[in-house]
Chains A and B, each alone.
Chain A
Amino acid sequence: MNRIIIFLILSSIVLLGADAISGEVEKQALNMSAIVMFLIFVGATLGITYWAAKKTKSAKDFYTAGGGITGFQNGMAIAGDYMSAASFLGISGLVYMKGYDGLIYSIGFLVGWPIILFMIAEPLRNLGKYTFADVASYRLQQTPIRTLAASGSIATVVLYLIAQMVGSGKLIQLLFGLSYEMAVVLVGVLMILYVAFGGMLATTWVQIIKAFLLLSGATFMAIAVMAHYDFSFGSLFTHATELKGEAIMSPGGLVSDPISAISLAIALMFGTAGLPHILMRFFTVNDAKEARKSVFYATGFIGYFYILTFIIGFGAIVMVFQKPEYLDAAKHAVDGTFPILGGSNMAAIHLSHAVGGDFFLGFISAVAFATILAVVSGLTLAGASAISHDLYASVFRKGRVDSMTEMRVSKMATIALGIIAIIVGIAFENQNIAFVVGLAFAIAASANFPILVLSMYWRKLTTRGAVIGGALGLGSAVLLVILSPVVWKSILGNAEAIFPYEYPALFSVTLAFVATWFFSITDKSQAAKDEQELFDAQFIRAQTGIGAEGASSH
């Protein structure tokens, strides 16, 4: 095993090196300081992967890092999972373009976290082992519930992966001057190395390091911006409105009609509480106490990060907007507007250059790359666990499988998912993928969240109710997104969308809950009675942690 790791490390360094050289002859300017800093990051994280691989001896180590991560570390890693390149560059770009609307968006992404703490974190930790399907299927029939939960997880993970891979290819192309395919392959290969060899332990530490780098970099940028205005928000906003008009200080067109607004709010809130790669992180800590601390730290880091991105977006308005060195001169010549090079998502990247020169630009570019790597690793691990733990070990082998075999299957699943990610990343290069993250959140909110929360708190839930409700939630979320304006009109080219709203969650989540309720209370079978009778014991374990999984003892 070790020899394989060393070989893969060496070959990936060679690959990087070769790529750096070929990048030089390409049209995009080669960003040397970014590449050096990125190589340091890759070297350090591969070193961690090597260390983690030696400590990863069982399925439990692989899925949960042995269960010995502290609340603070896990909080940082959760924040790392959540602060993707899309949220760093996307939200600061949105603030740069639309001002206040960017803040509305980030608030939506944050408010799910307190709900996760109050409702989910503790029972999840007390009842589960490796995946949230452990909890959903705790007193229900294993095969149907795990199949459903795994489908929801894999759908969420794959959609999220598509968005991350395509985003990473484009970003790396722009920042490092590598070709799109090369960038996607590089991300896929490194991700397979981290996850297949280092499991959850390596993934967690990659996530922690990246979260630390991202928060430090963003803090520096925000402070540099504020220092320009003597730390007065008033002067920053005044200058920004002089450049872009007063509209940036009020809500714009992001959420126009109430139905879409509420639907988006539901998707963000409950979707966050149904993301498999986030839920999985709660099994890496020792007990419910550490699980709660994880959410508190994560909420703190994420909230702080969103405040930073807001300042960074405004900083980009005053320091990047209309500046000749960041202006896309070709487009400006055509229509007289002032677009920045690489599009509005590059606002934070250009700002890093404006406040810290080439060196800091290199740092932020390397951090953006590291962010992508860390997020896809977390996603892949969650997808691989759904395949190996839920589908293979529980559904296919009915639990009769030893820990080593299960771990081997999850490593194979990791490699398979990595290859799929590379393929879809390349296949979707020129597709409109604006809907995929929204769809991932809609599925998480409509399929994963209802069965998870009802299995924890509702005595009368039965297998029949959960399966029908969850499947309807999943199916309706997918169907409504296909019929919505963004797919039916923009992508499929139809004149009018059949479903008029942009976000399906209000309808699909309601459908999932109502169907689960109806098909549970009308279930008069003996199996249903037995399942309901098991609720008391489950509830006691959820509330007190009696009988919960502990940390592994080595």
Chain B
Amino acid sequence: MNKETVQKIKENPDYKKLVSTRNSFAVKLSILMLVVYFVFILTIAFNPVFLGSPLSSGSVTTVGIPVGMGIIVFAIVLTGIYTQRANGEFDELSNRVKESIREI
């Protein structure tokens, strides 16, 4: 890729949109995952009793069970959401960027 093409792509509005929307989306989802996980880990470290308390009075199942299972499902759902959007919207934008340099 020569300097001219690099400059041209950098100024392409589709490219700008692709980079800004995708990266902010990826960062948001990453932070969401990290926050959920670290809150979970820190709860275990500082307040394990909470996760060990019964889900409802008299039940053996503890709060920790749905929370733990929920984090697993949450991780899968997050990857699904990202993949869905990236394979549609973001690929659309990146294809348009590719088209634009083919025209040169």
Contacts and interface: CB of A to CB of B under 8 A. Distances in A.
A299 B1 CA distance: 35
Interface string A531-554: 000001100110111110000000
Contacts of B75: 110-111, 113-114, 299, 303
Interface string B56-83: 0001111011001101110110111011
Interface in B10-51: 10, 15, 18-19, 22, 26-27, 29-30, 33-34, 37-38, 40-42, 44-46, 48-49, 51
Contacts of A256: 45
Given A299-B76, A300-B76, A111 B71 contact: yes
Contacts of B15: 540, 543-544
Contacts of A250: 48-49, 51-52, 62, 64
Interface in A72-109: 100, 103-104, 106-108
A496 interface: no
Contacts of A310: 69
A303 B78 CA distance: 12
A237 B63 CA distance: 13
Nearest to A262: B41
A306 B73 CA distance: 11
Interface stretch (A39-47, A152-160, A288-296, A484-492): A288-296
Contacts of A15: none
A293 B38 contact: no
A188 to B, nearest CB: 35
A107 B51 CA distance: 15
Contact of A536 (B10, B65, B72, B79): B10
Interface stretch (A115-123, A214-222, A443-451, A461-469): A115-123
Contact of A258 (B9, B27, B42, B79): B42
A206 interface: no
Contacts of B49: 250
B30 A307 contact: no
Interface string A215-251: 0000000000000000001100110010000100111
Contacts of B68: 100, 103-104, 107
Contacts of B52: 100, 249-251
B18 A306 contact: no
B37 A107 contact: yes
Nearest to A238: B60
Nearest to A536: B6
Interface in A148-207: none
Contacts of B89: none
A497 interface: no
Contacts of A306: 72
A237 B62 CA distance: 10
14 contacts: A100-B64, A106-B72, A111-B33, A113-B79, A114-B82, A117-B82, A249-B61, A251-B44, A251-B64, A258-B45, A296-B79, A540-B1, A541-B1, A545-B94
Given A110-B72, A303-B75, 6 more contacts: A100-B52, A103-B68, A249-B60, A289-B86, A299-B79, A545-B98
